[in-house]
């Protein structure tokens, strides 16, 4: 997490994968946009000099009464928070918040302020963790608002991140209050969310991570929290640039149907568009380190006859500048060519086909588990059978293994399964939480 100097700003590259040929009269253009960031200022976990860092992080820990049942949960939460604090680099601004039906800052203790990481402040923060004591309820919106206020206290920060841990449902505020907090914080910081145990709600925590462009996962056994928190903070410390947007321009009479991130996880960005100019809109992508992501773009174009061709979309990676302009980091073109060659127009691009299947896989899992909760075993079995087939076809081995804990696989190629009678709640929640994780297209050898 570093200042956006010429030496530390990653190099962004955009690649477009599509079948540009359309049948006469066809109007839908699909493309996979692969964005790769390389060569930033951090690598291999090496620490940055203190004067080169302008990042902030807030750790929000659930301290509601349920965190004391069993007591190993709050003990593990303290240990995990200490492990995360150890990964914060010198010079990074940080704070620790205890979340109940209110949000209480336990370090630093001087109001809405952030400490600056150093050997001394990290040790002081770890000592303050003894004040993480379970009591009260759960109102996650107040935690989000507190984190937003803390990070906003340092307007010089170019990267703002948060980590949130909870073990329960958001029962002590109205859903509208949580949504209001998320709407206010969206685009201001990213947030990785973790649910410990099995008494929390996957959809609710995904709602938080999705709004704040972070990750969500389950830590079923509290004993595994420290390793997970350590890894999350290491990843956060590897981010180098924030607020990068995917800008899509379309010509007159063309329009974007949807924009979805499809790797490493499925995330629909369509409704997050902000207009950035005539026939141009920006879609937020959050913070970046050295990494690669894939996006599925679908554009509706005017129907045309054989021999016509057009630019269907121009896709750019842009970074907002202090003067209100946007720096173009990289760009690619999406084309449409109408042909009467049946073989050319019906050929599905491998990347498009793969990620369409991955999105369908995530949807099948979620619909199957929802049907199971509703007592519709037949629909649940059919949907999870479909998920098994898609995971098998695409080589998504991680998801396939998670499915095997919920269903007995009879024939993976056909998607023939039987729902297990002894499925644990943790296995079902793990499958649901990780259903949006995708596997990338295998490169040809």
445 found inside a domain: no
The phi, psi pair for 415, rounded to 5°, reads: 75, 30
Q: Residue 250's domain is classified under what CATH number?
A: 2.60.40.3670
Final residue in a domain of this structure, among 237, 265, 282: 237
Does 361 share its domain with 310?
no
282 found inside a domain: yes
For residue 4, pLDDT beyond 90: no
Does 188 share its domain with 305?
no
Per-residue pLDDT band at 441 (split at 50, 70, 90): confident
Final residue in a domain of this structure, among 184, 214, 237: 237
Report the percentage of the chain scoring pLDDT > 70: 94
4 found inside a domain: no
442 found inside a domain: no
Does 230 share its domain with 249?
no
For residue 46, pLDDT beyond 80: no
For residue 3, pLDDT beyond 90: no
The span from the CA of 99 to the CA of 139, in Å, is 8
Average pLDDT over residues 394-410: 97
Average pLDDT over residues 28-35: 98
The span from the CA of 22 to the CA of 254, in Å, is 15
260 found inside a domain: yes
The DSSP letter of residue 271 is: G
**Reduced to 3 states, what is the DSSP secondary structure of residue 152?**
helix
* pLDDT of 49: 34
Does 211 share its domain with 286?
no
For residue 15, pLDDT beyond 50: yes
Per-residue pLDDT band at 41 (split at 50, 70, 90): very low
Does 158 share its domain with 292?
no
* Total number of domains in the chain: 3
Other Cβ atoms less than 10 A from the Cβ of 407: the count is 22
* pLDDT of 151: 97
205 found inside a domain: yes
For residue 20, pLDDT beyond 70: yes
Quick check: 350 and 356 in contact, CB under 8 A? no
pTM of the model: 0.94
For residue 436, pLDDT beyond 50: yes
The span from the CA of 312 to the CA of 24, in Å, is 15
Does 83 share its domain with 194?
yes
Quick check: 230 and 199 in contact, CB under 8 A? no
- The answer to whether the bond into 264 is cis (omega within 30° of 0) is yes
Q: Residue 396's domain is classified under what CATH number?
A: 1.20.120.1690
For residue 52, pLDDT beyond 70: no
pLDDT in tens, 169-197: 999 999 999 999 999 999 999 999 999 99
Does 282 share its domain with 371?
no
Per-residue pLDDT band at 440 (split at 50, 70, 90): very high
* pLDDT of 213: 97
- The two tokens of residue 19 are 């079948």
438 found inside a domain: no
Does 55 share its domain with 33?
no
pLDDT in tens, 205-226: 999 999 999 999 999 999 999 9
pLDDT in tens, 270-309: 999 999 999 999 999 999 999 999 999 999 999 999 999 9
Final residue in a domain of this structure, among 237, 254, 270: 237
Residue from 217, 280, 290 nearest 245 by CA? 280
Does 118 share its domain with 178?
yes
Does 264 share its domain with 162?
no
What share of residues in the chain are helix, strand, coil (percent, to 5)? 35, 30, 35
Does 74 share its domain with 220?
yes
Mean of the per-residue pLDDT values for the chain?
Answer: 93
End-to-end CA distance of the chain: 35
Does 189 share its domain with 59?
yes
Q: Which domain holds residue 366?
A: 350-433
The DSSP letter of residue 265 is: B
273 found inside a domain: yes
């Amino acid at each position: 997490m570093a200042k956006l100097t010429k030496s530390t700003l990653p190099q962004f590259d955009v690649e477009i994968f599509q079948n540009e040929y359309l049948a006469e009269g066809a109007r839908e253009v699909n493309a996979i946009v692969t964005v790769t960031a390389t060569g930033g200022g951090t690598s291999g976990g090496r620490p940055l000099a203190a004067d080169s860092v302008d990042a902030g992080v807030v750790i929000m820990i659930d301290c509601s009464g349920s965190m004391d049942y069993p007591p190993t949960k709050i003990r593990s939460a303290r240990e995990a928070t200490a492990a995360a604090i150890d990964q914060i680099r010198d010079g990074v601004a940080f704070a620790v918040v205890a979340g109940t039906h209110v949000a209480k800052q336990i370090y630093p203790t001087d109001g809405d302020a952030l400490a600056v990481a150093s050997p001394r402040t990290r040790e002081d923060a770890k000592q303050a963790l003894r004040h993480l004591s379970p009591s009260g309820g759960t109102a996650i919106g107040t935690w989000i608002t507190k984190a937003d206020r803390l990070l906003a206290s340092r307007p010089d920060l170019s990267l703002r991140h948060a980590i949130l841990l909870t073990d329960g449902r958001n029962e002590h505020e109205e859903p509208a209050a949580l949504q209001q907090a998320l709407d206010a914080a969206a685009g201001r910081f990213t947030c990785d969310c973790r649910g410990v145990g099995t008494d929390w709600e996957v959809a609710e925590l995904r709602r938080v991570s999705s709004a704040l462009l972070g990750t969500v996962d389950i830590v079923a056994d509290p004993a595994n929290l420290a390793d997970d928190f350590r890894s999350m903070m290491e990843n956060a410390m590897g981010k180098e640039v924030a607020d990068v947007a995917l800008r899509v321009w379309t010509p007159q009479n063309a329009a974007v149907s949807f924009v979805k991130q499809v790797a490493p996880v499925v995330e629909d960005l369509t409704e997050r568009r902000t207009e950035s100019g005539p026939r141009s809109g920006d879609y937020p992508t959050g913070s970046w380190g050295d990494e690669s992501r894939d996006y599925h773009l679908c554009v509706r174009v005017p129907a045309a006859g054989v021999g016509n061709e057009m630019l269907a979309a121009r896709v750019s990676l842009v970074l907002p500048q202090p003067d209100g302009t946007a720096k173009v980091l990289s760009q690619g073109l999406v084309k449409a060519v109408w042909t009467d060659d049946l073989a050319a127009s019906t050929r599905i691009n491998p990347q498009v086909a793969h990620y369409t299947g991955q999105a369908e896989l995530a949807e099948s899992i979620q619909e199957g588990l929802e049907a199971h909760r509703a007592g519709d075993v037949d629909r649940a079995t059919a949907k999870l059978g479909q998920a098994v087939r898609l995971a098998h076809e695409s080589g998504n081995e991680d998801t396939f293994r998670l499915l095997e804990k919920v269903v007995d696989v009879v024939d993976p190629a056909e998607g023939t399964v039987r729902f297990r009678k002894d499925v644990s709640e943790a296995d079902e929640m793990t499958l649901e939480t990780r259903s949006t994780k995708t596997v990338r297209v295998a490169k040809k050898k």
